[in-house]
Amino acid sequence: MTVAIAALLSIFGVVVGAFLQNYFARQNNEAKQLLESRNLAYVDFLEAVSLVVSAQRLGKKEQELEQLAKLTDAKARICMFGEESVIRKLAAFWEAGASLETESEIIAFTRFVLDIRKSLGLKDKKLLNAEVAQLLFAIKPPVNKFKRN
């Protein structure tokens, strides 16, 4: 009788262990796929913004339209896969005009980029607002202009 109980408990333990392993592996895989989709949407959006601005400045209308389509696709994917704070910052950038021509647009875009960094788990020890703005736009704005909302 004791041997039978031990055998049943062993089988039960193996079944429960297999179930838990499958459950956690599935959860891990779903989280990994979400992160990959999110990262791809962020990268595609930033690339499209860069190429749209470049095409606009060079007067290449056909290239601008092509990149605007890619931008719209990436924006939709951010709305699907992005974290709430990133979506809010993207909406603020869009509300500001989304052309990267005015100070308010540049500030909104910089906040958007910084929120992407935060959503990816990057823990910056210092505020990078001015540095990110300088790298993205070759400007050195006052740090207080980029204060987080």
Structural domain including 99 reads: 2-146
Q: What angle do CA 33, 84, 139 make, to 5 degrees?
A: 100
The confidence band for 125, taking pLDDT boundaries of 50, 70 and 90, is low
Measure the CA–CA gap between 131 and 46, rounded to whole angstroms.
Answer: 17
Overall number of domains in the chain: 1
pLDDT of residue 139: 67
pLDDT in tens, 47-86: 999 899 889 888 999 999 999 999 999 999 999 999 999 9
pTM of whole model > 0.75?
A: no
